[in-house]
Amino acid sequence: MFETIRSAISPVHRAGWPFIIASGAATVLAYGLVPRIGNLFALVTAWMVYFFRDPDRVTPTRPALVVSPADGRIQLIVEAPPPPELGLGSDPRPRISVFLNVFDVHVNRLPVDGSVSAAHYRPGKFLNASLDKASEDNERMSLAIALPDGRDIAVVQIAGLIARRILCDVGAGASARAGARFGLIRFGSRVDVYLPVGVAPLVVVGQRVIGGESVLADLNGQEPARAGEVR
């Protein structure tokens, strides 16, 4: 029974504790002054615990798989050049954009094995992260990851309409392991993955994906890009 209970309760990411503690303290104070307001603060505290949940994930370990860096919905799949600050050239590549709403797990995970060859933070706007131009205009944190076969990919954390803080725990020179936690975005956001030229996405627009588990692409695969429909 205890194992079942423990599996149903997700740990909380360390970045969430300041918010949870502050909200909890405000809840106690509000209950002492105006109980009805205390109920509201209690709901906010519960939502904070929910938002900052950090569940374990089971990552496929077959070489050359690219896993989703975030929970959410595939918002866009287009050809686009990676962020220029990463120095990966200007040739368009397949870009997969995962949009996270405020109810998704916001802990981000590395999509592949390799090494981080570049890391760059760029301030910017806070447009709705579901818009295509958010990739160019919004605040972002970009990572280039060198793959064991000499190719590279990019993963970009993008702030959204109400997101005001990007956390990234890795920098240039760090080892990358597919599925490993590397950061978090508060509160509602998007993560872009730029695949090597010629690699076809194995997901479709509108599909729900799970960070660290769902496969976005096979770097050695020969399958053409997939199509999908709502059923």
**Structure confidence by residue, pLDDT tens digits, 175-189:** 999 999 999 987 768
User: Where along the chain do its domains lie?
Assistant: 2-51, 65-218
Q: Which amino acid is at 177?
A: R
CB 144, CB 152: distance < 8 Å: yes
Structure tokens at 122: 């760029």
Structure tokens at 207: 């599909």
Residue 189 known to be catalytic: yes
CA distance 50 to 119: 29
Mean pLDDT of 56-83: 95
Per-residue confidence (pLDDT) for residue 133, from 0 to 100: 72
Confidence band of 5 (pLDDT split at 50, 70, 90):
very low
The residues pairing with 63 across neighbouring beta strands, listed in sequence order, are: none
141-192 pLDDT per residue, tens: 999 999 999 999 999 999 877 656 889 999 999 999 999 999 998 776 899 9
Residue 193: pLDDT over 50 = yes
CA distance 226 to 224: 6
Confidence band of 229 (pLDDT split at 50, 70, 90):
confident
- Burial (Cβ within 10 Å: 0-12, 13-18, ≥19) of residue 223: exposed
Query: Between residues 163 and 1, which one has the greater pLDDT?
Result: 163
Q: Among the options 117, 135, 142, 189, which is catalytic?
A: 189
Confidence band of 4 (pLDDT split at 50, 70, 90):
very low
Q: What percent of the chain has pLDDT over 90?
A: 56
Enter the pTM of the model. 0.87
100-146 pLDDT per residue, tens: 988 899 899 999 999 999 999 998 777 666 667 777 778 899 999 99
Per-residue confidence (pLDDT) for residue 50, from 0 to 100: 86
CA distance 213 to 211: 6
Supply the CATH classification number for the domain 65-218: 2.70.70
Show Cβ contacts of residue 23 under 8 Å, excluding neighbours closer than 6 positions.
Answer: 41, 44, 45, 48
How many residues does this entry show for the chain?
231
Structure tokens at 223: 């399958």
